[in-house]
Chains A and B, each alone.
Chain A
Amino acid sequence: MAEGNVRHRDNCDPGRKCCGYCCTQIRNFSVKIGKTQILHDINLHLHCGELTALIGPNGAGKSTLLKAILGEVKHEGTIVFAGSGGESTGKPMVGYVPQQLEFDTAAPVSVKNLFSACIGRKPAFQKTSPKVTDKILECLGRVQAEGLIDKRLGALSGGELQRVLLALALEPVPQLLLMDEPVSGVDRKGLEVFYDIVSRVREKYDLTIILVSHDLDLVKKHADRVVLLNKTVILNGPPDVVYSDKRLHETFGLSEFINSDE
């Protein structure tokens, strides 16, 4: 896991426009809702194939940042995706795995319906063509969830649903993948499986991933970069550096840091 990312980091020359690898740049993001400044002066430079964990106390603006990147929340500043030569290719294609999909669990919508509504041309209530069915199975295969195709969304467990949503976010393969605490409400085993899949997907597709998480242990284990957010970027670096910085303790308050599983 670490090898590829050391490569990315070593090649990063601040003097150059980009690092020689494709990357996503977030420049001067700020968000104001009403008169409240939620986020200000966010500058992030994220490389492909890197898993960036976004941590911070409640109300730090983590979810808001994701929503601003998605364009759901009004914001100032720009986001650009740059190819390996440093050439800007405009806004990145963004995939999104929401925190907890709030939906009507009694709704008669199957996993297949969800996918054919997204990728098929025919209305989802028609019979799915074999070609589209194969495509859906391929998508679900990326997260080892082929068996869930005919299940109703409301009948999935928390972990299964997250995997299905990840599969959906990966079709078409995005340049930037945003995940908002995708593991809350999932048991420990489901958690490990999910992180394994995320790591594999990142390597396979060379994705930039931003993951909002509260679980500081798992972040330490899996993330390549940790960004501590509290209204603005307070710390930004490899996990061991961020975790040993006393500002982390100050931001969270010591007690919360000890109870990191919360």
Chain B
Amino acid sequence: MNHIYSLLDVILPFEWLSYDFMKNAFLAVLLITPIFGILGTIIVNNRMAFFSDALGHGAFTGIAIGSVIGFIQPIWSAIIFSIGFSILITIIKNKTKTSTDTVIGVFSSAAIAIGLVLVTSGGYNYNSYLVGDLLSISPKEVGALFILALIIIVLWILFYNKVLLVSVNISLARSRGINTLGVELAFTAIIAVAVTIVIQWVGLLIINSLLVLPAAAARNVSSNARQYNVMAILISFVSGLIGLILSYYLDTATGATIVIISAFIYFITLILRKRFA
């Protein structure tokens, strides 16, 4: 890690990056924003913004359950719980005729309620999971993020085509021999894992914005998959970086500052939109 720190000192000799905790946060932004950007492209295409929000709630419940059980790290119980949660919602969504909104709403509210009851009964401090603190990330956790980012990028390259076809139209994808339920389950499980891991530093309240906003902005200014992915990564990273720097100087919550920047970019793209229609 020290090598990376000294490397950062050489190539980015800025005042805001002189502290180690800022270096860690910078590396985290470098890893989180691109993967959230690309995952977001399909979330927005599939109109799953509400769904990914529910996954955040599921992750919170998982962490609460883990804290209560106590004998394993909360994060592992959270990952297992949120994968199960995402699979359950996806299957019920596919099996019932009830509107997707309602199904997700029911699950999301139930999950957050269970989570809150558990943490309040145990007297745990749950504030950090609601708001999150990116500056508290440890070098070891940055390493874990690196592995997560690597896995997601590999999966993205391998399965993007299938995910894209399913997002265009399920029947069409099925007629091309794609196991659409499998793709859907795998995709939501990946989002669940990514959200669960990152929620500790970003917080339940705004994690969904990190997924949805950059992609929503990128969509306004792109007309094919390539532009869409590149723009989403770019917008996500730029707002992550600017948000981090601003939060350092203004002493504000990092995650929220990032979201404000990406919301700002979103509104700019909304104005530019007509040129790309």
Contact = CB atoms under 8 A, between A and B. Distances in A.
Interface residues of B, number: 30
Interface string A103-130: 1101111101110111010011111000
A113 B161 CA distance: 9
Contacts of B226: 113, 124-127
A125 B228 contact: yes
B223 A123 contact: no
B169 A110 contact: no
Contacts, number: 91
Given A70-B174, A109-B168, A110-B225, A117 B161 contact: yes
B195 to A, nearest CB: 22
A118 to B, nearest CB: 6
Contacts of A107: 45, 167-168, 219
A108 B165 contact: no
Interface string B40-54: 000001010000000
A94 interface: yes
Contacts of A110: 223-225
A118 B224 contact: no
Nearest to A104: B45
B169 A113 contact: no
Interface string B178-196: 0000000000000000000
A96 interface: yes
A67 B171 CA distance: 9
Given A118-B165, A123-B160, A113 B225 contact: yes
Contacts of B277: 155
B168 A114 contact: yes
Contacts of A109: 45, 164, 168, 224-225
A155 to B, nearest CB: 8
Nearest to A123: B160
A142 interface: no
A112 B162 CA distance: 15
Contact of A98 (B161, B162, B169): B169
B157 A108 contact: no
Contacts of B171: 67, 70, 72, 96, 98
A95 interface: yes
Task: Give the interface SS of chain B, mostly helix, strand, loop or mixed.
Answer: helix
B116 to A, nearest CB: 35
A101 B169 contact: yes
Nearest to A70: B175
A200 to B, nearest CB: 22
Interface in B229-277: 229-230, 277
A94 B175 contact: yes
Interface residues of A, number: 36
A209 interface: no
Interface string A66-95: 010011100000000000000000000011
A171 to B, nearest CB: 10
B164 A124 contact: yes
Contact of B224 (A70, A101, A108): A108
A58 B137 CA distance: 61
A102 interface: yes
A118 B168 contact: no
Contact of A118 (B160, B169, B176, B223): B176
Contacts of B6: none
A150 B172 CA distance: 20
A155 B158 CA distance: 28
A72 B181 CA distance: 12
B5 interface: no
A204 B222 CA distance: 38
B156 interface: yes
Given A70-B175, A96-B175, A108 B227 contact: yes
B174 A152 contact: no
A32 to B, nearest CB: 17
A153 interface: yes
Contacts of B47: 104
Contacts of A116: 161
A208 to B, nearest CB: 16
A108 B164 contact: no
B175 A95 contact: yes
Interface of B: 45, 47, 156-158, 160-162, 164-165, 167-169, 171-172, 174-176, 218-219, 222-230, 277
25 contacts: A70-B175, A94-B175, A96-B172, A101-B172, A102-B169, A104-B45, A104-B167, A104-B168, A107-B219, A108-B219, A108-B222, A108-B224, A108-B228, A109-B45, A112-B224, A114-B165, A117-B162, A118-B176, A123-B158, A125-B226, A125-B230, A126-B226, A127-B226, A150-B224, A169-B175
